Amino acid sequence: MVSHSQSLKPALDAIGKAIDQRFDRLIPVPEDSRARLYEAMRHAAIGGGKRMRPLLVVAACDLFHVDRERALRVAIAIECIHVYSLIHDDLPCMDDDDMRRGKPTVHKAFDEATAVLAGDSLHALAFEVLADEATHEDPFARLELITALATASGPAGMAGGQMMDLVAEHELYDIIGVTRLQQLKTGALIGFCLEAGAIMGRIPDSQRTPLHGYARDLGLAFQIADDLLDVEGSAEKAGKALRKDEAAGKATFVSLLGVERARTQARMLIDQAIEHLASFGEEADLLRAIARFAIERDR
């Protein structure tokens, strides 16, 4: 029997290639003294990462038969935001990481100032991509995407979660605190990926409940799996330093629940995530496969 992780491999390879191609076209290096900035953006954006968020966007768009090329524009936008957040999180003043996706981090390969600007540039680029009429013919769809992405990535979402993470060393969270932190830090963007499918398909709010449930459960399970990999995984496969939370004395799902309970909890969440998709047919198979992959992956 083929493992679920293996069955997702063709889809992961395909989205990786599609995203790289589009970033290559979107970020051409100019022949002037801004070249270094564009090279830094390309270093971070092209070649690497699981592309989980782009795949989630495409899978969510598949539910509603959204044109693939348009879905990929939204996928590029969310990856712009994700990559900008990685560049800034890796800075010496934040997590101070040297390796990311198996390559030197941007501030190592270039310098800190260029890393700040490359992150800022990808941040702006995300909104430029979404606002373009090539993303959706309906202006209200584009505006809804922009509002959802700005909210999910700003202080009420990802940036707020990152702030909670920064103070985690002084303020030891309980399970409710860690859950809230992760729902903001990673959950909000994962929620956007699913919401984006519904927005692109012009599905009314009242019919989005299954997607919200799937996103919430997947997001938490994904984070628990990350915490497990951080304790049990290989830095080589992960392409980044591990066991940093433990060293910093931060509470995680694993430190609070223990390895076994954390693993059980993640499996339960994934079963639940898949149950939310019960009303969908085979058009939701990719979302189901992603859910299983989320807790079986080794990086």
82 CB-near residues (< 8 Å, 6+ apart): 49, 53, 189
189 CB-near residues (< 8 Å, 6+ apart): 53, 78, 81, 82, 152, 153, 157, 158
* 46 touches a copy of itself by CB under 8 A: no
Work out the burial of residue 18: count CB atoms within 10 Å of its CB; fewer than 13 is exposed, 13-18 middle, 19 or more buried: buried
Size of site (CB under 8 A) for a copy of itself: 52
Q: Which of residues 203-262 bind a copy of itself (CB under 8 A)?
A: none
Token match 């900008």: residue?
Answer: 84
Instruction: Collapse the DSSP code of 149 into the 3-class scheme (helix H, G, I; strand E, B; otherwise coil) and give the result.
Output: helix
* 61 touches a copy of itself by CB under 8 A: no
* 93 touches a copy of itself by CB under 8 A: yes
Instruction: Collapse the DSSP code of 99 into the 3-class scheme (helix H, G, I; strand E, B; otherwise coil) and give the result.
Output: strand
Give the residue, chosen from 7, 151, 179, 265, that forms a contact with a copy of itself under the rule CB under 8 A.
151
Minimum distance between the CB of residue 121 and a copy of itself, rounded to whole angstroms? Answer: 4
Minimum distance between the CB of residue 27 and a copy of itself, rounded to whole angstroms? Answer: 8
* 167 touches a copy of itself by CB under 8 A: yes
109 CB-near residues (< 8 Å, 6+ apart): 40, 43, 103
* 91 touches a copy of itself by CB under 8 A: yes
* 33 touches a copy of itself by CB under 8 A: yes
Residues that bind a copy of itself (CB under 8 A): 32-34, 36-38, 41, 84-85, 88, 91, 93-94, 107, 111-114, 116-117, 119-121, 123-125, 127-128, 131-132, 139-140, 142-143, 146-147, 150-151, 153-155, 159-160, 162-164, 166-167, 171, 177, 180, 184
